[in-house]
């Protein structure tokens, strides 16, 4: 079973930056596509970004395109989400997830393992 641990969340002012990290416990991480999702209070969990198993393909929600960058380091079993020009509407709990198929879907039910989440709060 793959365990995922996110870190890097926090409180930042609008226009600021944060980098989230998600480290996996198993080597099978290297064959997984990885995704980032977020969930604001009272809302559904939404797709943010995904990256294929080898980092060759990435995908972003329209709301974060040009501001967020996903990357991975398979030697460290870690995926990153660099978030720049943050807005108050980016405030949410951010979750990383592993997709064993390696495709990096935008759909939550396509992912097999989830982290516990890390809070990101952007003040105006």
- pLDDT value of residue 31: 87
The tens digit of pLDDT for each residue in 57-67 reads: 999 999 999 99
- pLDDT value of residue 101: 84
The tens digit of pLDDT for each residue in 70-109 reads: 999 999 999 999 999 999 999 999 999 999 887 889 999 9
DSSP per residue over 7-42, as a string? E--EEEETT--EEEEEEESSGGGGGSEEEEEEE-TT
The tens digit of pLDDT for each residue in 32-56 reads: 999 999 999 999 999 999 999 999 9
């Amino acid at each position: 079973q793959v365990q995922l641990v996110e870190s890097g969340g926090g409180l930042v002012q609008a226009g600021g930056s944060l980098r989230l990290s998600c480290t996996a416990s198993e080597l099978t991480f290297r064959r997984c596509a990885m995704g980032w999702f977020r969930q604001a209070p009272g809302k559904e969990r939404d797709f943010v970004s995904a990256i294929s198993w080898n980092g060759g393909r990435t995908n972003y929600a329209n709301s974060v395109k040009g501001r967020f960058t996903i990357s991975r380091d398979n030697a460290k079993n870690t995926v990153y989400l660099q978030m720049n020009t943050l807005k108050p509407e980016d405030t949410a709990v951010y979750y990383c997830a592993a997709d064993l198929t390696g495709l990096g879907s935008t759909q939550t039910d396509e992912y097999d393992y989830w982290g516990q989440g890390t809070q990101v709060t952007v003040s105006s």
